[in-house]
Amino acid sequence: MLNSTLSYFILEAYISVGTLRYFYFMIIALLYTVIVTVNTSLIVIICMNRSLHEPMYLFLCSLFVNELYGSTGLFPFLLLQILSDIHTVSIPFCFLQIFCLYSYANIELCNLTVMSYDRYLAICCPLQYSTRMTFNKVIIFIIVIWLYSFVRCIINISLNFRLTLCGNILNSLFCRNYLIVKLACSDTTVSNIHGLFGVFLSIVVPLLPILFSYVKILKICFSGSKQTRQKAVSTCTPHLASLLNFSFGCLFEILQSRFDMSSVPGMVRIILSLYFVILQPLLNPIMYGLQMSKIQNACKNLFCYRKSSSH
């Protein structure tokens, strides 16, 4: 960073909570514990059960790993900030947090996009599914999703790290890329163009195959048998719920970053800013765990095995 006089950012969005800080600390710590426990449990269940080594469950495993990655990029830092009286963050750590949270969001949407394509093949092309969605292709999809997201974030951060900043106050609970660009007093044309192009790549491009997949699935549902409709509903409902939940979280994040939200109460702004990092990792394993019968059966078998072993 060209402005060598700055060594930290001040996070201005933290409100004075007094003795309630311990209450908020316990709530956030409990949420993080639940997220880690549930997502880790489902990852272990999928890895240990060969019957779950199918494309859909491997993509789910990637999704659950990403939930752990994204929540770990925020929650430990947030817990420290809640207990602290001085809400500052060093510049290198701030960019590291941006990398974690933005790559998490990118991986999440890309993963959901590939899962929609997987559902399209399973419902619309069942006879060709095993040949078109092989184990090797699934692994390649997952590797490309993660590498692509990491490379995009590295390019973005490298552009913004070179900016000369004229301030160090961020009106946020955590580091946001757009807020740092707004502090720049040097030319931000390249960063702004890359940011707009990045939004197109991160949101518009993934939404096109999702729309294509669900249009095809709806056509099959309307023209197919009752069994086909039931299969589509049972496998697509958690995916759609996850996609809508994540879309709302991204929408709240964009509104927070791009528009003046000073008229909105502080606590509401805090909840909206944390929505996509709390609700998605918390609800995804619950939705898929309740909807996917194979995961339910694997959980029951594991529980029964532990119970019988203890006896």
Higher pLDDT, residue 86 or 46: 46
Could you tell me the end-to-end alpha-carbon distance of the chain, in angstroms, rounded to an integer?
Answer: 62
Per-residue pLDDT for 164 more than 60? yes
Q: How confident is the model at residue 222 (pLDDT cuts 50, 70, 90)?
A: confident
More confident residue, 116 or 87: 116
Q: Specify the pLDDT at position 2.
A: 46
Mean pLDDT to the nearest integer, 169-173: 84
- Say yes or no to pLDDT of 61 above 60: yes
Confidence at residue 162, expressed as pLDDT on a 0 to 100 scale: 80
Q: Look at residue 308 and tell me whether its pLDDT is greater than 90.
A: no
**At residue 307, does pLDDT exceed 90?**
no
Is pLDDT larger for residue 63 or for residue 235?
63
Q: Please tell me the distance from the alpha carbon of residue 28 to that of residue 69, in angstroms, as a whole number.
A: 16
The mean pLDDT of 89-112, rounded to a whole number, is 92
Asked whether residue 137 carries a pLDDT value surpassing 50, the answer given is: yes
Q: Which residue has the higher pLDDT, 255 or 211?
A: 211
pLDDT, the chain, mean: 83
Q: Write out pLDDT tens, residues 196-212.
A: 787 788 788 888 899 99
| Range from 47-56, 170-179, 260-269, 283-292 carrying the lowest mean pLDDT | 260-269
Type of residue found at 80: L
Give the DSSP H/E element, type plus range, for residue 10.
Answer: strand 8-11
Q: Is the pLDDT score of 267 beyond 80?
A: no
CA–CA gap between residue 81 and residue 97 (Å, rounded) = 14
Write the DSSP assignment of 139-197 as a string of letters. HHHHHHHHHHHHHHHHHHHHHHHTPPBS--EESSSS--HHHHHHTB-S--HHHHHHHHH
Fold annotation for 8-305: Rhopdopsin 7-helix transmembrane proteins (1.20.1070)
Q: What is the b/e burial string over 66-95, where b = at least 16 CB atoms within 10 angstroms of the residue's CB?
A: bbbbbbbbbbebbbebbeeeebebebeebb
**18: phi > 0 → left, psi -120 to 50 → alpha, else beta; which?**
left
What's the token pair of residue 276?
């996509």
pTM of the model: 0.88
The predicted pLDDT at position 300 comes to: 63
**Average pLDDT for residues 282-295, to the nearest whole number?**
76
Whether the predicted pLDDT of 166 surpasses 90: no
Q: What is the distance, to the nearest Å, from the Cα of residue 184 to the centroid of all Cα atoms in its chain?
A: 28
pLDDT band at residue 149, thresholds of 50, 70 and 90? Answer: very high
With cut-offs at 50, 70 and 90, classify the pLDDT of residue 66: very high
Closest alpha carbon to 191 in 181, 201, 204: 181
pLDDT of 301 above 80: no
Q: Kindly calculate the radius of gyration of the chain based on its CA atoms and give it in whole angstroms.
A: 21
**pLDDT confidence bin for 103, thresholds 50/70/90:** very high
The pLDDT of residue 271 is: 78
Domain boundaries, the chain: 8-305
